[in-house]
Amino acid sequence: MSLASLFYQAQSNKINFVQREIGFLGGGSYYIGDINTKGHFLNSHPAGGIYFRYCNTYRTAFRFSLNYGEISANDANSDDANQIERNLNFSSNLYEFSSIAEFNFVEYRIGHERHKFTMFLFAGLSAFYFNPTIDLGFGKEYLRNYKTEGQVSTYPKIQIGLPFGVGIKMNIGKKIGMGLEWGPRKTFTDYLDDVSGIYPETPVFNSKGLNLTDRTIDSSSSLGSMRGNPSNKDWYFYYGVTLNFKLPDPSKKCHGRGKKETIKRFKIIF
């Protein structure tokens, strides 16, 4: 077979290329907001997920993921004297479903001898569940239920986010690949930590008589002052190692048709 025919056959295989994968994420999750203002990877918690990836070319793919993690922060761990004085903290489980598109910097395919490594970018849309809690020695209490900043209505526990990020992929076998990725999630809420606005005129107490609204060490001057920064929305992050398994390809017949069509074209040409 001539070099020209080999080239056209390779191009035909790429055009007809479809690869399906199932993968797993193991790593961590953390958040940035009013209680952790800028510390990436601080207060990280174990996180994991499972996803299905549909690769329609050597450069592009679509991924559908279910992820679980936890986020938390504590003013007591801050270097800022004002935060230490404010004395707030929270934790929340985090459940996410995301649909994202991936773009590889170079061509990549699990099991391919030449296209076995790439960096990639991803972006998409997510729906996530959160519900911030606090434990003051009497078990977990859900802060959202108390409307700690005097809200007229509670904020939704399920909201929309914009996931994006960067990573690498590499082959470790004919049917197995692994990767490393880091992905911020932009949200449209400032209540991942239950902190956003001002101290309300009427504080909120739990069943034990503890003030959930104003926990400042010196609460005499907190009324009406800023409790958080409502102009900056909260972010959460997932990062970790991925392990991908290539699924059996039901489109092999389609590949065969592509090869036969290519061969017929070569016979006509030559």
Query: What's the sign of the alpha-carbon dihedral 246, 251, 256, 257?
Result: negative
CB 67 within 8 A of CB 96: yes
DSSP symbols for 145-171:
GGTTT--SSPPPSEEEEEEEEEEEEEE
Q: So what's the pLDDT on residue 261? A: 44
> Residue ranges of the domains in the chain?
1-16+252-270, 20-250
Given CATH 2.40.160.20, say whether it is the number of domain 20-250: yes
Instruction: In whole angstroms, give the CA distance from residue 165 to residue 63.
Output: 13
CB 36 within 8 A of CB 236: no
The chain-wide mean pLDDT, for the chain, equals 88
Average pLDDT over residues 66-74: 98
pLDDT band at 58 (very low <50, low <70, confident <90, very high): very high
Q: What percent of the chain has pLDDT over 90?
A: 77
Check residues 256 and 169 and name the one with the higher pLDDT.
169
For residue 137, give Cα distances in angstroms to 43, 91, 133, 168, 208.
Answer: 20, 14, 12, 43, 10
Q: So what's the pLDDT on residue 218? A: 79
Bridge partners of residue 23, in order along the sequence: 51, 244
